[in-house]
Chains A and B, each alone.
Chain A
Amino acid sequence: MSVITRNGPAGALTDDTLPRKKTALDAVLNFFRRQPLGTAGLAIMLVMFLAAAFANVLTPFDPEENDFQAMMQAPSWTHLLGTDQMGRDIFSRLVYGARTALLVGFSAAFAGGLIGLVLGVASAYFGGWFDLVFQRILDVLMAFPLIILALAVVSVFGTGVFNVILAITIPLIPRCGRVVRASALAVREIPYVDAARALGFGHTRIVLRHMVPNVVGPFLILLSAFVGQAILAEASLSYLGLGVQEPVPAWGLMLQGGAEEYATTAPWIAIFPGLAIVMAVLGISLFGDALRDAIDPKLRDR
């Protein structure tokens, strides 16, 4: 039996002959090189984050201040993207609107995702009647399209940022729960789960310490998709008048207020918030797809 030792005799493996261990920077650079569309998506997301974080520095006007001397002005050097029907600067409202989009998008996605993750793994772990009942509940919830369920929730709890987050979180839970359960069913059969049980660990510890970390891969991919869906749902609810309310800057709300009445006379009121929604959802989708490709070993080397 031969033993490979470091700094051993000739013919043995050494540090020089071993493949260099990849650093996080390598992984990131590799991602940029292999996933140009995903990189573009990431850039869009970064722009959104920066806009949201530094909105008070980037914006020349108060996004909520009515200026009746500047109603429906076309884009100019003073108002880069024009003004809306209340004379508010559209650029400033778009930048601040990124805060609303990200707040709602990430809060709903994380809340819905995390609850779905825990419930999905628990469902797979416990099996039996719990799994049966839980999956039927998910079936019922998933029978409704996301926006319909969100509309129902908002009509019960009312409008406002918190309620919109809640309204979008609830439909996301079964979507996450179902996918995570499928992954967790495979994990449940791996012997270390039995080993943990044999060692007398509690259910909570087994689920949270031993099973959840092993389904995080698909969960992260799901999460990126959820952020895009949540942003779109927030914009849809606001457009329908059921999301955040005036004068809070929100992209869907900006479309609702201006697009319908001034589409022909002041098209910039509708165009720029529409573009912002498209770019945000596109960016997150591209990044999510690329992330999936990068993580999935089957797709990673293609």
Chain B
Amino acid sequence: MVVRLGLWAAGLGLVAAIAAGPANAQTPKKGGTLVFMIPADSPPSFDGHRETTFATVHATAPFYSVLIRVPPDNPASTTEFVCDLCTEMPKPTDDGKTYTFKIRPDVKWHDGSKLTARDVAASWNRIVFPPSGVTSARVTYYAMVDKIEAPDDNTVVFRLKRATTAFLPALADPFTYIYKKEILDKDQKWYEKNIMGSGPFKFGSYEIGQSIKGVRNPDYYHKGQPYLDAIEGIFADKQSVRVEAIRGDRAAMEFRGMPPSARDQLVKEAGKDVVVQDSDWNCGNIVTYNHKKKPFDDVRVRRALSLAVDHWGGAPALSKIAIVRTPGGIVFPGSPLAATKAELQQIAGFGPDIEKSRAEAKRLLKEAGQENLKFELTNRNVDQPYKFVGTWLIGEWKKIGVNVEQKVVPTGPWFAAMRGGTFDVVVDANCQSVVNPVLDTAKYLPKKVYPESYGDYDDPKSIELYNAMTQETDPAKQRAAMRAYEKHTLDTEAHGIVTPYWYRILVIRSYVKGWKISPSHYLNQDLANVWLDK
């Protein structure tokens, strides 16, 4: 009898344990402080509308709300968007030209006052139509917006000039913090040096070049969140410092990304105490030719250089040493608008037979009278992955007899060279946040319509193809239009080379739960759903 009772008790215990295990794993625990590293010395300012760097968004996103966002529980999705301040995602009306958002009535600013639709409209008007003297980094994203209104305290209406699939992804941009109208009315620049939002954490303290701290917002409108009591971001621009901090558990993670060697080192030394999250990254290096300099005004030379690069052979090898991985065209590989492998293989340099491509490259160079071509490749003085990519490209071009000298310059002169057109060929970058192919691919347009296109070429056909693609709302037709634009850009005119997309690798202390990686280091940074299993 005793034995039977014992067995029964043991069995019950086992069942309870099995049942309790997953439940415990799923139930967030409250409390604790998340300490994370920010790979920068400090943000240039706190104003998300003005800045474009992750240093700002990593430091300040937990203090702010946004109108809509990528889903925090599925941030890898490239097509799904959910409300943050709104109550539900609206259906567009007026042939896709009007979006009406209802704003949650239960949102409070960190100073205790009520957030209304007028705050939302004021913030968005500042982003889309910045007043004189105010810098808004993403004005070009919202060229389709005609008007933003708040007819009452609970409603915000966006009226567009034309229907476009680019609008909602653009609206989910993580830098589009909602600021308090009353403060903006007094001083449009107040938010550059101060923080006051309605996000999951209230601003605690900031020490320049050291750290930024926040404490739990007890009035947060997503009930039950945030789970953490506090957050602390520590600024450290040196990778070795960040790796050491994670290894020694002085910090739980960083959010940008680290190279494979650092991942391997941490995994080897910390074992089960760390977990790895990785993802394709909506960032990539692109080779840009200066069309104003000979011989790069000759499409044969540009095509030859494109044909010499073995994307399929190089990407797997580079991925072992650099933060790059997936070959792709002008669209992020995870997007429905991205080229398939078969489609990519129709583009110069992506063909299945690299030797054949290189033979064609040599023929083109000979035909252009550039058999002994020499030039300077300007690159940014950043190891990962710029210098790795640059060195790889030089090796590839050498295989068709082209001699290239790499000129590595700091970030400032790198931008200056691109903007001033004082380069032969440059390792440029196209790094975006929300996957929004329609806007992301504007980088390949001529400079006169997209100022950050540094090739300095005029190409009316390119603009025509791009416009056709952006104005198409049928997914299948838009995809076909994107292929035509891509083929024209990378193959027919060979305006540039898209090198393998970056690959985001994060090593996280295993007690950090709830946070999921996304294709951008700008996304999913409010940390409301993060909890510590300690």
Show the binding face of A for B, using Cβ within 8 Å: 64-66, 68, 71, 85-87, 158-160, 241, 245-247, 260-262, 264-265
- A264 near B406: Cβ-Cβ < 8 Å: no
Does B264 interact with chain A (Cβ within 8 Å)? yes
Residue of B nearest to A65 (CB): B395
Q: Which residue from B240, B321, B391 sits with its C-beta under 8 Å from A71? A: B321
Does B265 interact with chain A (Cβ within 8 Å)? yes
Q: How large is the interface on B (under 10, 10 to 19, 20 to 34, 35 or more residues)?
A: 20 to 34
- B392 near A86: Cβ-Cβ < 8 Å: yes
Given contacts A68-B317, A85-B321, contact A159 B259 (CB under 8 A): no
- B320 near A247: Cβ-Cβ < 8 Å: no
- B407 near A160: Cβ-Cβ < 8 Å: yes
- Minimum CB–CB distance from A195 to chain B (whole Å) comes to 54
Given contacts A159-B408, A247-B406, A261-B262, contact A71 B395 (CB under 8 A): no
Bound together, the chains give a CA A68 to CA B264 distance in angstroms of 19
A68-B313, A246-B391 are known contacts; what are 5 more A-B pairs with Cβ within 8 Å? A66-B392, A85-B321, A86-B391, A158-B407, A246-B406
- Minimum CB–CB distance from A40 to chain B (whole Å) comes to 36
- Minimum CB–CB distance from A5 to chain B (whole Å) comes to 70
Show the binding face of B for A, using Cβ within 8 Å: 240, 259, 261-262, 264-265, 313-314, 316-317, 320-321, 381, 387, 390-392, 394-395, 398, 405-409
Given contacts A159-B408, A241-B408, contact A246 B261 (CB under 8 A): no
Bound together, the chains give a CA A241 to CA B384 distance in angstroms of 13
Residue of A nearest to B259 (CB): A261
- B408 near A245: Cβ-Cβ < 8 Å: yes
- Minimum CB–CB distance from A249 to chain B (whole Å) comes to 12
- A261 near B313: Cβ-Cβ < 8 Å: no
Bound together, the chains give a CA A28 to CA B175 distance in angstroms of 74
Given contacts A68-B317, A71-B317, A260-B240, contact A159 B409 (CB under 8 A): yes
- A86 near B395: Cβ-Cβ < 8 Å: yes
Bound together, the chains give a CA A175 to CA B261 distance in angstroms of 42
- A261 near B261: Cβ-Cβ < 8 Å: yes
Bound together, the chains give a CA A247 to CA B408 distance in angstroms of 11
Residue of B nearest to A68 (CB): B317
Bound together, the chains give a CA A260 to CA B316 distance in angstroms of 22
Bound together, the chains give a CA A107 to CA B262 distance in angstroms of 39
- B390 near A246: Cβ-Cβ < 8 Å: yes
Bound together, the chains give a CA A71 to CA B259 distance in angstroms of 16
- B392 near A245: Cβ-Cβ < 8 Å: no
- B240 near A247: Cβ-Cβ < 8 Å: no
A-B contact pairs, 6 of them (CB 8 A): A64-B394, A65-B395, A86-B321, A86-B392, A246-B408, A261-B261
Bound together, the chains give a CA A264 to CA B321 distance in angstroms of 14
Bound together, the chains give a CA A86 to CA B317 distance in angstroms of 9
Given contacts A68-B313, A71-B317, A159-B408, contact A246 B394 (CB under 8 A): yes
Bound together, the chains give a CA A166 to CA B374 distance in angstroms of 23
Q: Which residue from A66, A86, A158, A262 sits with its C-beta under 8 Å from B409? A: A158
What are the residues of chain B within 8 A of A160 when measuring CB–CB? 405, 407
Bound together, the chains give a CA A261 to CA B394 distance in angstroms of 22
What are the residues of chain B within 8 A of A247 when measuring CB–CB? 391, 394-395, 406
Bound together, the chains give a CA A85 to CA B318 distance in angstroms of 9
What are the residues of chain B within 8 A of A245 when measuring CB–CB? 405-408
What are the residues of chain A within 8 A of B262 when measuring CB–CB? 261
- Minimum CB–CB distance from A201 to chain B (whole Å) comes to 47
What are the residues of chain A within 8 A of B405 when measuring CB–CB? 160, 245
What are the residues of chain B within 8 A of A265 when measuring CB–CB? 261, 264-265
What are the residues of chain B within 8 A of A262 when measuring CB–CB? 261
What are the residues of chain B within 8 A of A241 when measuring CB–CB? 381, 408
Given contacts A71-B320, A245-B406, contact A66 B265 (CB under 8 A): no
- B407 near A66: Cβ-Cβ < 8 Å: no
What are the residues of chain B within 8 A of A68 when measuring CB–CB? 313-314, 316-317
- Minimum CB–CB distance from B101 to chain A (whole Å) comes to 47
Bound together, the chains give a CA A67 to CA B262 distance in angstroms of 22
Bound together, the chains give a CA A190 to CA B265 distance in angstroms of 68
What are the residues of chain A within 8 A of B261 when measuring CB–CB? 261-262, 265
- Minimum CB–CB distance from A251 to chain B (whole Å) comes to 17
Residue of A nearest to B264 (CB): A265
- 3 closest residue pairs by CB, A with B: A68-B317, A66-B395, A261-B261
- Minimum CB–CB distance from B420 to chain A (whole Å) comes to 14
- B265 near A264: Cβ-Cβ < 8 Å: yes
Bound together, the chains give a CA A53 to CA B227 distance in angstroms of 67
- Minimum CB–CB distance from B340 to chain A (whole Å) comes to 25
What are the residues of chain A within 8 A of B313 when measuring CB–CB? 68
What are the residues of chain A within 8 A of B316 when measuring CB–CB? 68
Residue of A nearest to B394 (CB): A247
Given contacts A64-B395, A86-B392, A261-B261, contact A159 B387 (CB under 8 A): no
Residue of A nearest to B261 (CB): A261
Bound together, the chains give a CA A261 to CA B407 distance in angstroms of 22
Bound together, the chains give a CA A159 to CA B390 distance in angstroms of 15
What are the residues of chain A within 8 A of B317 when measuring CB–CB? 68, 71, 87
